[in-house]
Amino acid sequence: MITKNVDIRNGAVNGAFGTVAKFEKNGQNEVNRIIVRLDCGSEIGLNRTVYERLYVHGKAYYKSTFPLMRAFAITGH
């Protein structure tokens, strides 16, 4: 499930479901892009999202993550 509005025109919005189709790696064997096939039929590439300046105990930290989460069994109530 996508956790951020990435590409509204292609259906890649917060809460959209899809299947990971492929990982694209750089020369250091690190994943730098994830290709997702959405349930609506389109296929998109997701890059890392970087959150800067997260301060903890006076120190600055950087967080780098993909806007995805696992969603095997979700029900709406």
Residues 36/17, Cβ–Cβ less than 8 Å: no
Sign of CA dihedral 37, 13, 3, 70: negative
- Residue type at 34? I
Single pTM value for the model: 0.77
Using one digit for the tens of pLDDT, what is the confidence trace for 13-68?
999 999 999 999 988 888 999 999 999 999 999 999 888 777 878 888 888 899 99
Which residue reads 């120190």 in tokens?
59
Contact 3, 71 (CB under 8 A): no
Report pLDDT digits (tens) over 8-28. Answer: 998 999 999 999 999 999 888
Q: Residue 76: pLDDT band by 50, 70, 90 thresholds? A: low
First and final C-alpha spacing in the chain: 18
